[in-house]
Structure 1
Amino acid sequence: MMSLPELIILDVGHGNCAILRDTNGVIIIDCAHGVTLIETLENLCIQEISHILISHADADHIAGIINLLSNETIKINNVHLNPDLLRKTEIWKDLITALTDAQQRFGTVLSSELTTTKTGQLNVGQVMVEILAPTPQLALVGGVGRTVDERRLNPNSTSAVIGLVHNTHRVAILGADIDQVGLDELLKERSELKADILVFPHHGGRPGGADGKAFAQQLCDLVKPNLVVFSMGRGRFDNPREEIVEGVVSSVPMAHILCTQLSNKCAGSVPDLDPRHLNTLPARGRTSNSCCGGTVSIKIAGNQTNYAADIAAHKEFIDYRVYNPVCRRFSVRTES
């Protein structure tokens, strides 16, 4: 299929969705609402998906899978997710119906487990797909239980955290909505989390009841990313929160911060001119001119993975087209 794998982090507004195009197959990680995912698959002429990995059952991570499962031209071979005993929403019911229909039409196989035991079992080419969290024991209690030390869990605590490794080098970690309790549980199993790219948890929102700055510092101290991506929608939930960005910058001051859409806190209005730094792939914010980094496409090449050109173009956009970028406020303080 391809000479090198590619990771595409989609601008889906408030939500998460990424595509791993590997040498022998395609993996989708989370399916946010909207048509951006299907538009991208059509743009790339993808008609078969090896695996869909759903980190957890929030609508901004699963709502888009229903249209995808119902699509007559795209074959989905496997869907993996952890059960959530708290879910009684219409979207959850629709998902179960759509999975049943896809099984009958295409033979789609449902796996009701996406835990650390799946590491190495989901590969479709050169990239090793790690499930860094949760453990099977934690997934069993999910959002209705407590940890062994009696800390209360919620569905975010048991989000599936996914790592992508190429040539023994961890290129990316996709953090889903993991909170402080979930991170603490992950660290009981893994002491080494270094990766080039971090898709930051919960769209840069509050990590449960924990201190946001301290959470961001702890996570970035562990991952030491060169690129931090906030997958977020303009005007939704005030993300990324300033204390989160401050924590990221204080931990990794040289890392580049990229939001998929332009926060209201960075610019009260969107730019008048069409941004020239975006690639040609679909992005939800393109029609409203509300993209910041938009959809991000990264060619994976182990420790030689290079996205410098894209970062340079985004930096220029931030420097010359954004009035008061949050990602610049704290870097000035760090350097002074």
Structure 2
Amino acid sequence: MMSLPELIILDVGHGNCAILRDTNGVIIIDCPQGVTLIETLENLSIKEISHILISHADADHIAGIINLLSNETIKINKVHLNPDLCRETETWNDLLIALKDARLRLGTVVSTELTTTKTGQLNVGQVLVEILAPTPELALVGGVGRSVDERRLNPNSTSAVVGLVHDSHRVAILGADIDQVGLDQLLKERSDLKADILVFPHHGGKPGGADGKAFAQQLCDLVKPNLVVFSIGRGRFDNPREEIVEGVVSSVPMAHILCTQLSKKCADSVPDLEPTHLNALPARGRASNSCCGGTVSIKIAGNKTTYAAGIAAHQQFIIDRVSNPLCGRFRV
């Protein structure tokens, strides 16, 4: 039995995926395409998943759950997600078919609500799992139309934002793809968002129609993270955007910034030598030497939660191997 819970933020390329290993169960937060998640579960000998939380219906958050549901060696007890009334993609339709099959054949419980009302109902050990957004009323809009205060919404606006609290201390916030409208709606419910670790929304991409730098400053002023993670794929969508990183640095200049893969903005080519700073867990960019921080593993310990050893190794990698790191351009 583990003495402490662990949060693993996977390098899946462009997408989001995290695993919470707690003392009495396992929770997966988002399931993107690719084999990294299943490889990690196999590496850790995980045979049962208590909950899968799907923040929203974009393929880079849901495509991997289809193979996971059909994997006969892994038992999945519950899947939680919100409706998406405008989603008509092939991936979404395939997911609905896979969920029905798992429900009928395996007894997997499918919950069509992942809102603030689920806070405290998803715990599998020592960690309090918060759903910070959306509210039930916002989720009922189904990612399309307008909120009750007449703000125009899209599926990113209603992304489920997950907080992890241990020993009364919020360790992490996983921001999914929440945009400025979604953040404004969240702040109507609560403003106590301080956390050690922030998995930055939308892979550091544009937050809807809002100014990227201002959005990053506002979010980081609220969260005050020590570690900011951008889950990106090298060469995909040009993330993280420079103005986002500038906003992060201007708000929390001492925070460590980690991208799972090495942005082309930071280095035109990948390092020639194999990285020595990565942990042993699977990372999608490892085979092509395109990892920057790679997969991140964090032992959760309340207000003593730290990633100090990993930060030092990652900082040295940037100094030795990265020609023009974006995370260093805006520091005084």
User: TM-score normalised to the size of structure 2?
Assistant: 0.99
Q: Which residue of 1 aligns with 2:319?
A: 319
Q: Which residue of 1 aligns with 2:87?
A: 87
**Cα distance between partner residues in 2 of 1:218 and 1:173:** 15
SS at match of 1:100: helix
Q: In 2, are the aligned partners of 1:176 and 1:200 still within 8 Å (CA)? A: yes
Q: Which residue of 1 aligns with 2:108?
A: 108
Deviations 1:106-155 (A, max 9, x none): 21000000000000000000000000000000000132221222110000
1:40 maps to 2:36: no
**Cα distance between partner residues in 2 of 1:73 and 1:101:** 16
Q: Which residue of 2 aligns with 1:12?
A: 12
1:249 maps to 2:255: no
Q: Which residue of 2 aligns with 1:206?
A: 206
Residue 307 of structure 1: how far off its partner (Å): 1.0
Residue 318 of structure 1: how far off its partner (Å): 0.6
Residue 105 of structure 1: how far off its partner (Å): 2.7
**Cα distance between partner residues in 2 of 1:169 and 1:142:** 32
Runs of 4+ residues over 4 Å off in structure 1: none
Q: Which residue of 2 aligns with 1:97?
A: 97
Deviations 1:265-313 (A, max 9, x none): 0000000001110000000000111000000000000001121000000
Q: Which residue of 2 aligns with 1:153?
A: 153
Q: Which residue of 1 aligns with 2:240?
A: 240
Q: In 2, are the aligned partners of 1:157 and 1:182 still within 8 Å (CA)? A: yes
1:79 corresponds to which letter in structure 2? V
SS at match of 2:158: coil
**Cα distance between partner residues in 2 of 1:169 and 1:25:** 20
Map residues 105-254 of structure 1 onto 2, 5 A cutoff. Answer: 105-254=105-254
| More moved, 138-147 vs 6-15 | 138-147
SS at match of 1:327: helix
Q: Which residue of 2 aligns with 1:56?
A: 56
Deviations 1:58-115 (A, max 9, x none): 0000000000001011000000000000111111111011111111232100000000
Deviations 1:155-188 (A, max 9, x none): 0000000000000000000000000000000000
Map residues 258-297 of structure 1 onto 2, 5 A cutoff. Answer: 258-297=258-297
Deviations 1:223-249 (A, max 9, x none): 000000000000000000000000000
Percent identical residues: 86
Q: In 2, are the aligned partners of 1:144 and 1:154 still within 8 Å (CA)? A: yes
**Cα distance between partner residues in 2 of 1:287 and 1:105:** 36
Residue 215 of structure 1: how far off its partner (Å): 0.1
2:321 corresponds to which letter in structure 1? R
CA RMSD of aligned residues (A): 0.6
SS at match of 1:330: coil
**Cα distance between partner residues in 2 of 1:143 and 1:93:** 17
**Cα distance between partner residues in 1 of 2:149 and 2:130:** 26
| More moved, 83-92 vs 123-132 | 83-92
Unaligned 5+ runs, structure 1 = none
SS at match of 1:12: coil
SS at match of 1:82: coil
Q: In 2, are the aligned partners of 1:10 and 1:18 still within 8 Å (CA)? A: yes
**Cα distance between partner residues in 2 of 1:135 and 1:108:** 25
2:55 corresponds to which letter in structure 1? S
Unaligned 5+ runs, structure 2 = none
Q: In 2, are the aligned partners of 1:142 and 1:153 still within 8 Å (CA)? A: no
Q: In 2, are the aligned partners of 1:164 and 1:173 still within 8 Å (CA)? A: yes
1:70 corresponds to which letter in structure 2? S
**Cα distance between partner residues in 2 of 1:100 and 1:83:** 15
Size of the aligned set, in residue pairs, is: 332
